[in-house]
Amino acid sequence: MQMASEATIKFMYIKKISVLLFFIAISLSTSANNGYDLWLKYEKFKDIKLISAYQSKLKSVSISGNSATIQKAKEELAFAIKGLLGSNIKWKNEGIENNSLLIGTPSSNKIIAGLDIKELAQINTDGFIISSQNIKGANCTIITANTDLGILYGVFNFIRLLQTAQNIASLNIVSSPKIKFRMLNHWDNLNRTVERGYAGFSIWDWHKLPDYIDKRYVDYARANASIGINGTLVNNVNGNATILTKQFLEKVAALANVFRPYGIKVYLSARFSAPMEIGGLKTADPLDSNVRAWWKQKTKEIYSLIPDFGGFVIKANSEGQPGPQDYQRTHADGANMFSEAIAPYHGLIIWRAFVYSQQSKDRFKQAYEEFIPLDGKFNSNVIVQVKNGPIDFQPREPFSPLFGAMKKTAVGMEFQITQEYLGQGTHLVYEAPMFKEVLDADTYQNGKGSTVAKIVEGNQFSISLMAGVSNIGNDINWTSHPFAQANWYAFGRLAWDYSLSIETIAKEWIEQTFSNDKEFVRTTQNIMLQSHETLVNYMTPLGLAHMMYNGHHYGPMPWGNTLGRPDWNPIYYHKADTNGIGFDRTINGTNALAQYNDAVSKMWLDSNTCDEKYLLWFHHVSWQHKMKSGNTLWEELCYKYNIGVDSIKKYEQQWALQEKNVNPEQFNQVKQFLHIQVKDAEWWRDACLLYFQTFSKLSIPAKYPQPTKTLEYYKSLRFPFAPGN
């Protein structure tokens, strides 16, 4: 008898271990209702009629294919149906029967191939179709796609239909992701600290890798695949060259092996000076032949270990990071050096546009000024990754002017899921409204309707990207605040389809995570939909920005003026004085408005007609400036801060009535966090109004609560060990 090859034995062993890890992860995660299951909480329905209706439509299931990805789809479907309906799947190897579920690609399933489904030509490699069909007199539901990965996405979508109690009797779903690369960016350091992380330490246990595979890695991949995320940057953009050594690349390869069946590619942050730090070279000049050769060899080494490596993310010449400008080269010179090294392997280079220096008179303008002259000079496998706004993930920002201005370069979106400037790990803030506000903004690049979302989709380019800075840590529930899970979920759903409504996404998440109870869903959805505007009101209303404490960014510090660079200090952004408040970015100020299309700048050019949520972004206006409400600016500030506090108190009261619909652990966790949020909102209100009052010389209207502490008290507060730094 011929012996199996060593490679075959190794593959069989890895496959068995993978299956074992999957079911170990499932059994451990369901042992307690602590939030670990995320939105994949397949809890049995309480409605007996619903269970019976689903069971009648799922008499048997046939799934074709034998890849690792198909195996994951099969495992997930079996686990979901067992959990939701309390019954095991009746698997059917071939043929059809009435009320059966038929899953496979045309190449793996002869019955599906014979249906001649024309919509298959409309979907891309990640897309899928779920449809009700009558096949030879049998009513069936089919899930099909052009690839096995499409099948996996289709299965997760079908499970979502079940979780949210949808009617599956008549389905016609044709779905493809609008964005090709849908990534989480982990700002995780090799020592397991997480920059701007508020949910514990990094989930990557580098010391134990590659030999110990934590069950979290499997569940992380499952969760991402369920919402269509297909890439993960595993290390901080403030890169450490050590990740590129063979010792650590083998660890990264172990993660890639876990993620591969779920369609998730691994990306690495590449430190620009790595050729000097770990390569022994005396320069990192991107035009130096030895440097270019070093990166080509390093890239070859990576692909020998990780054949489907996604590519490099580079932060260069920003916040002290090394880069091409150190050698009088351009961002394009640096990016193109990497792109040439990775091109033979069809990888991607993601070059971050987050740059600023103290020489700039307006930090708002610098990214535009550095990158617009380079438009069209980046190689075709380079995406310039732009933050949603021109400053730095503030609670509200106008869209970055680079969206709409760069016409010859693929431009990707970078959102921040982690709540660095949004109350961090204890505030309830549903970020989807913030994401959508930017995605739906019209740049007028090619006339009316040229939204930021359409530019990110980049139909004229073969590559498109939406990245989100991860909020994941090793807390048992992944994200610290239970509702922060919704931001991870919403990011993935919008990266797949940015046309989805924020209401739909919130409802899906609530029903999958907590309960299908209609009153609970309605109340919780309303809280979520209002929560972002509420936070803006009690933190940075009317276009204020960057007023957080220096360094850790926790709590209000509008008086901050002690750091060496002007743009590191809050007073740089609000410019409050006795005459008024706000940053003048009109032609009379820095003229940053000129970076937008004329149709956009015209909307914001006049302080009397400017959308008031952006007013102080673009105008320095008098304390007596008349607002659309009839209030003066000072009165409106007082109103906004107070309505923000009142709203959080209302959410706290509403949540207190929901105990019967949420397990005790999560209910109490949210209850305590809301109490913290109320106190923080009051802190923001009182500290900011007391400070701005020193300039306005106006009283806080008597109808509002008066501060009980002095401005000097708030200035004296210190938080030396605040997380996230």
Q: How confident is the model over 168-183, as pLDDT tens digits?
A: 999 999 999 999 999 9
Residue 493 sits in the same domain as residue 548: no
Contact (CB, 8 A) for 352 and 414: yes
> What's the pLDDT at 516?
93
pLDDT digits (tens, 9 = 90+) for 107-165: 999 999 999 899 999 999 999 999 999 999 999 999 999 999 999 999 999 999 999 99
Give the span between the Cα atoms of 98 and 135, in whole angstroms.
9
Backbone angles phi, psi at 708, to 5 degrees: -100, -10
Q: Give the count of domains, the chain.
A: 4
Identify whether 721 is part of a domain. no
Identify whether 526 is part of a domain. no
**Residue 585: how many CB atoms within 10 A of its CB?**
25
**Residue 430: how many CB atoms within 10 A of its CB?**
26
Residue 567 sits in the same domain as residue 656: yes
Residue range 384-396: mean pLDDT, rounded? 98
Kind of pairing between the strands at 311-314 and 411-416: unpaired
Residue 342 sits in the same domain as residue 261: yes
Mark which of 500, 520, 551 sits at the end of a domain: 500
CATH number of the domain encompassing residue 634: 3.90.1330.10
Residue range 597-615: mean pLDDT, rounded? 97
Contact (CB, 8 A) for 227 and 493: yes
Residue 102 sits in the same domain as residue 7: no
Helix (H) or strand (E) holding 107: none
Residue range 185-191: mean pLDDT, rounded? 98
CATH number of the domain encompassing residue 136: 3.30.379.10
Contact (CB, 8 A) for 99 and 123: no
pLDDT digits (tens, 9 = 90+) for 443-499: 999 999 999 999 999 988 999 999 999 999 999 999 999 999 999 999 999 999 999
Specify which residues 466 forms β-bridges with.
182, 413
Residue 128 sits in the same domain as residue 154: yes
Name the least confident of 18-27, 117-126, 404-413, 550-559: 18-27
CATH number of the domain encompassing residue 203: 3.20.20.80
Identify whether 331 is part of a domain. yes
Contact (CB, 8 A) for 687 and 711: yes
Residue 137 sits in the same domain as residue 281: no
Identify whether 432 is part of a domain. yes
Best CA proximity match to 364, nearest among 27, 589, 125: 589
pLDDT digits (tens, 9 = 90+) for 194-249: 999 999 999 999 999 999 999 999 999 999 999 999 999 999 999 999 999 999 99
Identify whether 523 is part of a domain. no
Residue 377 sits in the same domain as residue 470: yes
Kind of pairing between the strands at 181-185 and 465-469: parallel
Report percent pLDDT > 90 for the chain: 93
Strand segments, DSSP code E, in 249-399 are: 265-269, 311-314, 348-352, 382-387
> What's the pLDDT at 95?
76
**Crossing angle (nearest 10°) for helices 664-696 and 633-656:** 170
> What's the pLDDT at 358?
65
Residue 118 sits in the same domain as residue 256: no
Task: Give Cβ neighbours of residue 228 (< 8 Å, ≥ 6 apart).
Answer: 126, 153, 177, 182, 492, 493, 495, 496
> What's the pLDDT at 459?
84
> What's the pLDDT at 32?
54
Whole-angstrom CA distances from 158 to 51, 143, 151, 155, 532 are 15, 8, 10, 5, 30
Identify whether 518 is part of a domain. no
Kind of pairing between the strands at 580-581 and 621-622: antiparallel
Contact (CB, 8 A) for 385 and 358: no
Best CA proximity match to 133, nearest among 148, 120, 156, 115: 115
Residue range 318-323: mean pLDDT, rounded? 95
Give the span between the Cα atoms of 550 and 554, in whole angstroms.
8
Residue 158 sits in the same domain as residue 200: no
End-to-end CA distance of the chain: 61
Give the distance from CA 286 to its chain's centroid: 31
Judge whether residue 611 has pLDDT over 80.
yes
Q: What is the domain extent for residue 270?
A: 181-500
**Residue 130: how many CB atoms within 10 A of its CB?**
22
pLDDT digits (tens, 9 = 90+) for 552-561: 999 999 999 9
Best CA proximity match to 378, nearest among 389, 390, 386: 386
**How is residue 616 written in tokens?**
């102080």
Give the span between the Cα atoms of 144 and 127, in whole angstroms.
9
Give the span between the Cα atoms of 80 and 404, in whole angstroms.
43
In three-state secondary structure terms, 386 is: strand
Give the span between the Cα atoms of 712 and 172, in whole angstroms.
63
Best CA proximity match to 259, nearest among 227, 205, 217: 217
Give the span between the Cα atoms of 618 and 606, in whole angstroms.
9
Identify whether 529 is part of a domain. no
Residue 165 sits in the same domain as residue 273: no
Identify whether 465 is part of a domain. yes
Catalytic (active-site) positions: 319, 392, 420
**What's the longest Cα–Cα distance across the chain?**
94
Give the span between the Cα atoms of 393 and 387, in whole angstroms.
7
DSSP of 265-301 = EEEEEPPTTHHHHTT--S---TT-HHHHHHHHHHHHH
Of the pLDDT bands very low, low, confident and very high (cuts 50, 70, 90), residue 267 is: very high
Mark which of 142, 157, 175 sits at the end of a domain: 175
Specify which residues 173 forms β-bridges with.
130
Mark which of 119, 146, 175 sits at the end of a domain: 175
Residue 381 sits in the same domain as residue 473: yes
If one compares 325 and 5, the residue with the highest pLDDT of the two is 325
Of the pLDDT bands very low, low, confident and very high (cuts 50, 70, 90), residue 570 is: very high
DSSP symbol at 188: B
Contact (CB, 8 A) for 48 and 89: no
Judge whether residue 94 has pLDDT over 80.
no
Residue 136 sits in the same domain as residue 197: no
DSSP symbol at 627: P
> What's the pLDDT at 453?
98
